[in-house]
């Protein structure tokens, strides 16, 4: 195995009374797209700024391309960064922006112009070198910011929520473009975001960060289907979270009851004892909906519900139910067939899920209020 492009060990940053980054250890493989996903205030920006060299860690080590970054100033690191607001230089043309880093390295002017033009062509902005930065559209600025960094051929490209400022349509488009750019450059990308969809779509591996620590590092599929903690289950993708107390253990299944008296079963992740508080997570697409209980598969737990509201969103349409006994809210994804197009608010329905596909975590109360 080659040396990882980024190796972080026991990295610490302490701010007054809270630890922004708490003994983090992880590695990023060469050429991969690595995302750090977490809610605001989880320490991801601090981590990124430590990698870039803008913040000095209070402990631990940081190696980039096998070289220790201890005492190396930001302008001497083989790392470039795409800033949240892009931070393009408004006093320079597009070409001057891209050539800025080359000029600082003392690359001669003809060579600088050649490489700038080649890079602009690569990001689809051929001939834009003379334009002013404010003449560009949001997506084009994004590409200039990436070109400005990539022209320096860094070992590592850091991206600080660069899509945050774009509108939804453009963001979706830039996601695809970013992934293609990363694939074509082959440079290692470290991307931080609070948007789980960006992290899932773009990354080879994702680290979910909470309170200065990584809750889980894995492929997007791992995070989605095998969340390691309640936090990950709640933060990544939509999930129904039902909290209660453990009343029975049955093999790998745990039975729990909510204070309102709703009893359900789920596969146990980790350990828990009878009487412990726990939370069950069921994805909306794991649950199914029928008008009559006997139409649901036999291995499903079956409950009665009443339609509280219909959330039509094309392929992501869902229905919000109230479970009949407890009145608790439960979200079920609607099938794409349009079979339930005539569903009405207030209608009584049956819903259920396979307990093997629902996950139970002990505690589970530290899960984030869903964004």
Nearest of 207, 193, 216, 211 to residue 15 by alpha carbon = 211
Q: What is the CA radius of gyration of the chain?
A: 24
Residue closer to another protein by CB (options 6, 81) is 81
At its nearest, how many Å lie between another protein and the CB of residue 182? 19
Q: Which residues of this chain interact with another protein, rule CB under 8 A?
A: 52, 54, 73-76, 79-81, 83-85, 87-92, 100-101, 104-105, 148-149, 152
What 3-state DSSP class applies to 270? coil
At its nearest, how many Å lie between another protein and the CB of residue 154? 10
Residue closer to another protein by CB (options 144, 181) is 144
Long-range contacts of 66-69 (CB under 8 A, 24+ apart): 66/3, 66/7
Residue closer to another protein by CB (options 15, 54) is 54
Residue closer to another protein by CB (options 147, 207) is 147
The pair of structure tokens assigned to 275 is 């009487």
Phi and psi, residue 181, nearest 5°? -60, -45
Residue closer to another protein by CB (options 5, 215) is 5
Calculate helix-pair angle for 138-150, 94-104, nearest 10 degrees: 20
At its nearest, how many Å lie between another protein and the CB of residue 263? 53
At its nearest, how many Å lie between another protein and the CB of residue 81? 5
At its nearest, how many Å lie between another protein and the CB of residue 67? 16
- CA–CA distance, 307 with 293 (Å, rounded to integer): 15
Residue closer to another protein by CB (options 83, 225) is 83
Q: DSSP per residue over 34-87, as a string?
A: EEEE--TTSSHHHHHHHHHTSS--SEEEEEETTEE-TT--GGGSSEEEEBTTB-
Residue closer to another protein by CB (options 67, 76) is 76
Nearest of 310, 295, 292, 294 to residue 346 by alpha carbon = 310
Strands 213-218 and 79-82: unpaired
At its nearest, how many Å lie between another protein and the CB of residue 126? 22
Contact 150, 97 (CB under 8 A): no
At its nearest, how many Å lie between another protein and the CB of residue 17? 18
């Amino acid at each position: 195995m080659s040396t990882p492009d980024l190796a972080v060990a026991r990295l610490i940053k302490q701010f007054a009374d809270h630890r922004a980054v708490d003994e983090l250890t992880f590695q990023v493989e060469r050429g991969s797209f690595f995302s750090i996903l977490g809610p605001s205030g989880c320490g991801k920006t601090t981590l990124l700024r430590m990698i870039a060299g803008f913040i000095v860690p209070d402990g631990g080590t940081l190696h980039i391309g096998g070289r220790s970054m201890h005492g190396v100033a930001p302008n001497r690191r083989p790392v470039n960064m795409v800033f949240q607001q892009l931070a393009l230089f408004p006093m320079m043309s597009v070409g001057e922006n891209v050539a800025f880093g080359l000029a600082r390295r003392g690359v001669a002017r003809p060579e600088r112009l050649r490489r700038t033009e080649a890079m602009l062509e690569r990001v689809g902005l051929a001939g834009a070198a003379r334009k002013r930065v404010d003449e560009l559209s949001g997506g084009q600025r994004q590409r200039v910011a990436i070109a400005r960094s990539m022209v320096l051929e860094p070992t590592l490209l850091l991206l600080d929520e660069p899509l945050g400022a774009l509108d939804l349509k453009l963001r979706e488009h830039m996601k695809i473009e970013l992934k293609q750019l990363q694939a074509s450059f082959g440079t290692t990308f470290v991307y931080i975001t609070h948007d789980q969809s960006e992290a899932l779509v773009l990354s080879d591996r994702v680290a979910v960060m909470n309170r200065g620590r990584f809750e889980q590092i894995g492929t997007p599929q791992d995070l989605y289907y095998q969340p390691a903690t309640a936090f990950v289950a709640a933060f990544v993708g939509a999930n129904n979270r039902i909290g209660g107390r453990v009343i029975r253990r049955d093999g790998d299944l745990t039975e729990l009851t909510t204070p309102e008296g709703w009893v359900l079963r789920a596969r146990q992740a980790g350990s828990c004892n009878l009487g412990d508080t726990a939370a069950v997570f069921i994805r909306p697409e794991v649950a199914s909906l029928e008008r009559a209980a006997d139409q649901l598969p036999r291995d499903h737990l079956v409950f009665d519900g009443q339609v509280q509201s219909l959330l039509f969103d094309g392929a992501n349409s869902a229905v919000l139910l109230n479970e009949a006994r407890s009145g608790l809210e439960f979200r079920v994804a609607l099938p794409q067939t349009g079979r339930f197009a005539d569903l009405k608010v207030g209608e009584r329905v049956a819903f259920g899920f396979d307990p093997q596909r629902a996950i139970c975590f002990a505690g589970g109360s530290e899960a984030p209020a869903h964004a």
